[in-house]
Chains A and B, each alone.
Chain A
Amino acid sequence: MAVQGTRVRHEDLGLQEADLGSIHRSMLLARRIDERMWILNRQGRAAFVISCQGQEAAQVGAAYGLRAGYDYLYPYYRDLAMMLTLGQSAREQFLSLLAREEDPNSGGRQMPGHYSSRELNVVTTSAPVAVQYPQAVGTALAFKMRSESGVVLTSGGEASTSSGDWHEALNFAAIQELPVVFLIENNAYAISVPEKMQVAGSIADRAAGYGIPGVAVDGNDVLGVYEAADEAIQRARRGGGPTLIEARTYRMTAHSSDDDDRRYREREEVEGWREKDPIARFERYLEEAGLLDAEGKDALEAEIKAEIDQAVEYAEAAPQAAPESVLRGVYAET
C-alpha cells in the first residue's frame, strides 16, 4: 500500500535519479558499516559500538538538503548515516572506531559516534544529551546577525526532548526566528526506558507551544523525511524561522555494544520493526519505479563490501596516536 502511494513521489520532490542513487547508497553504506562495526566488536577488535540501524532514512532524508561546509550540523551519536551523507567516508568511520591517530572526529580521544568535521561544519559532539541544541541555536544566531542564508540542522533522540536544554533552545530559536531545524529521531527507547515513560504528549505538537511549525513524519520513509526537512530548510533560509520535525523510527540494535536489550524489550517487537526496515522499503520503491533491479543491487552491495573491506584494512594498519599526545592540545594557542 505504502509503496503504491509513493510511486512517483521523488519527481514531485524535485529529486533526480542520481539523487535517489545517492540516498540509497548512503543508507546502505551506513547499514553495512554499522554491521561490520558490531562484528569487529564481537571479535574483540573494537572496544565500543553505538548504532544507527533502523534510523538511516531519518538521517539521510534530513541531511540530504544541507550544503555541507556552509550550513552547520550538530548531530548526535547515532547519526552515522548523516555523516556519510555530508561526506565522511567509510575509512573515516573505521579510523574512529579503532581510535587511530587519523580519526577525523577526535584523534582517538572520544568514543566512536562523537562526530566532528571542521571541513563539513559538523560541530564536535558530546556524550551528555541535548547540549547540542542551545549551541545549534547560537550558530544559527550568528547567521542571522550577519544576514546570511546558512541553516543549522541539529538532531537527537526522543530522550533528548526531556532536557531543559531542548526547551530552552526551542524557545530562544522561536523568539529570535532563527534558521535552525530540530530533528527528533524518535527511536522509542532511551537505553531501556520506553517512550511512554519519557515523553508526555506528542513531541511534534510541542512546537505549537513555541509558535513554530511542528511536523510529525514517518521516520522510516526517506522521501517523507526529505520532504519535511527540505521544506524546513528552505523556510529557514528565507528567514522563516525554526521548525521541529519528529521522525518516528526505531532503534533496531541494543543501545550500544555494552547493552543487552533482551532485558527490556520483546523480540517480537524488534522483529516487527525489522519488517519495516527503511532500507528495504526504499529499495522496494526504487524497484517499483524501475530504478533498481537485482543485478544493480548486487553490484552496489559488492561495491560497498569492497569499500568497507579496504577501509577496515586501512584502519587496522593505521598508527595509534602517540600516548603522550593525550597531554597536548588542551588550550588553543593565540
Chain B
Amino acid sequence: MAARSLLQAISEGLAEEMRSDETVVTLGEDVGKAGGVFRVTQGLQEEFGPLRVMDTPLAESLIVGSAIGLSVNGMRPVAEIQFADFIPPAFDQIVNEAALFYYRSGGAWPCPITLRIPYGAVPGGALYHSQSVEAFFCNTPGLKVVAPSTPADAKGMLKSAIRDPNPVLFMEHKKAYRLVKEEVPDAGEPVPLDTARVHREGTDITVCAYGIVLHSVLEAAEKLSTEHGMETEVVEPRTLYPLDRETILASARKTGKFLAASEANVTGSVSAEIAALVADEAFEWLDAPVKRLGAPDVPMAGFAKPMLEYLVPGAEAVEAAMLELARY
C-alpha cells in the first residue's frame, strides 16, 4: 500500500490491466512517446511497444471509431480523448455507434471499449480545456459514464471499465489528478461500476457530489460538523449513468434535505437528474426543496483566474450551500 495521486492510480491500473491481458491496448493523441499530455500513459510504450500504445492522428472520431473496430476484432481498447472539450467530433461514434452496437445487433456485437476523458476546470484552461461534458452522454442508453474521484476508486473502476463488455466513458477530473492523494492497494481489486459510495454518514443533510467538488464537500462536512455540530451524509455517485438510484434515494429519505453538486453547468446536468430523481421518488421524506449547485449556464471557463473562480463552485460556495440547506 502506498500513497498515490489520482493520476498515478489510473496509470497503474491501466498498466496492470495491460500486463494481465494482452488484448488491452491504448491509443490516442500523444499517448505514446510523450506518455500523454498529463503523463498518465508515461512508460507504457517502452513496456508494451508502439502497437499496443499507439499515437494516433489528431482525429477524435477516428480514435473512437477505430477503438470500436478493435473491440470487434477481439481487443480491449482504452482510447484517450486528450481533453473532454475535444470529444464532440467523436459524438456520433460514441452515441450512435458504440452505445448501440449491442442493442441494435440483438446482442451479437458487444462493444467493450473504454474512453478515458480528462475533464473539468483547471487554472489557465480557458474555454476549451475546462469543460465538464459528462451530461452529453448521460442520456444515452448503452453507455456507462463513470467518474471516480479518489485514487483507489479510480484504479479499481478503471479495471472494471476495461473488463466491462460495454462502452465505458471514464471521466478523470484534471484538477484532482495531482491534488488528490490516498493510499492505494498495490494489487488493486476491481471496484464495481454500478454502486454509489457513501463517504460519510450523517443525519442532517445529504450532499451528492463528484469530481473536485466532492473533495470540497468532504472538507466542508468535517468543518461544519466541528463548528456547528451539523452532520452531513456525503454520497458520491461514482457512476453517473446509469445511476445507483437506491443508494441516492436511501440517503435522501434518511436526511430529508438534499443537495446535488458538481462543477458542471447546472441546466440539464447530472445534478439536475439526481435532483429530479429525489424529488420524484423521495418527496414525502423531504424537509426542504432539493437543491443543485454547479456553474452558471455560461461557457466554461474564463482564462482570467478571477473569472474561473467566479464560475466554479469552490470550498466557500459549497459550504454556504450546505449551511443554507441545513438551516431551511
Q: Show the binding face of A for B, using Cβ within 8 Å.
A: 72, 103, 105-107, 109-110, 114, 116-118, 123-124, 126, 128, 131, 133-146, 150, 152, 164-165, 168-169, 171-172, 175, 329-334
Contacts and interface: CB of A to CB of B under 8 A. Distances in A.
A331 B166 contact: yes
Interface string B92-114: 11001100111111111110100
Contacts of A128: 92, 96-97
Given A110-B104, A139-B69, A131 B93 contact: yes
Contacts of A107: 106
Contacts of B142: 330-331
A229 to B, nearest CB: 20
Contacts of B73: 72, 138-139, 142-143, 150
Given A105-B105, A124-B104, A330-B102, A138 B110 contact: no
Contacts of A139: 69-70, 72-73
B57 interface: yes
A141 B70 contact: yes
B102 A329 contact: yes
Contacts, number: 144
A331 B102 contact: yes
B165 interface: yes
B106 A138 contact: no
B175 interface: no
Contacts of A116: 104-106, 108-109
A190 B102 CA distance: 28
Interface in B2-56: 25, 51-52, 56
B41 to A, nearest CB: 17
A150 to B, nearest CB: 8
A106 B104 contact: yes
B75 A168 contact: no
Interface string B253-269: 00000000000000000
Given A131-B97, A330-B142, A332-B166, A137 B108 contact: no
B308 interface: no
Nearest to B96: A128
B282 to A, nearest CB: 25
B216 interface: no
Given A134-B69, A137-B62, A142 B105 contact: no
B68 interface: yes
B193 to A, nearest CB: 10
Nearest to B25: A145
B59 interface: yes
B105 A144 contact: no
B67 interface: yes
B61 A124 contact: no
Contacts of B109: 116, 118, 123-124
A171 B144 CA distance: 30
Which are the 4 A-B pairs with shortest beta-carbon distances?
Answer: A138-B69, A134-B65, A138-B66, A142-B73
B229 interface: no
Contact of A140 (B69, B93, B112, B164): B69
B69 A142 contact: yes
B74 interface: yes
B141 interface: yes
A142 B23 CA distance: 9
Interface of B: 25, 51-52, 56-57, 59, 61-62, 64-75, 77, 89, 92-93, 96-97, 100-110, 112, 141-142, 144, 163-166
Nearest to B242: A331
A328 to B, nearest CB: 9
Nearest to A140: B69
A145 B92 contact: no
B103 A333 contact: no
Nearest to A331: B166
Contacts of A137: 62, 65-66, 69
29 contacts: A105-B106, A106-B104, A109-B104, A114-B104, A116-B106, A124-B104, A124-B109, A128-B92, A128-B96, A135-B93, A137-B62, A138-B68, A142-B70, A142-B72, A142-B74, A144-B51, A164-B89, A165-B62, A165-B92, A165-B93, A168-B61, A169-B66, A171-B62, A172-B66, A329-B103, A331-B102, A332-B166, A334-B163, A334-B164
Nearest to B100: A126
Contacts of A169: 62, 65-66
A126 to B, nearest CB: 6
A109 B102 CA distance: 11
Contact of A329 (B64, B69, B72, B106): B106
Q: Most chain-A Cβ atoms within 10 A of its Cβ — which of B52, B61, B72?
A: B72
Given A117-B108, A142-B73, A330-B142, 13 more contacts: A106-B104, A109-B106, A124-B108, A126-B104, A131-B97, A133-B65, A135-B93, A139-B73, A141-B66, A142-B70, A165-B93, A172-B62, A334-B164
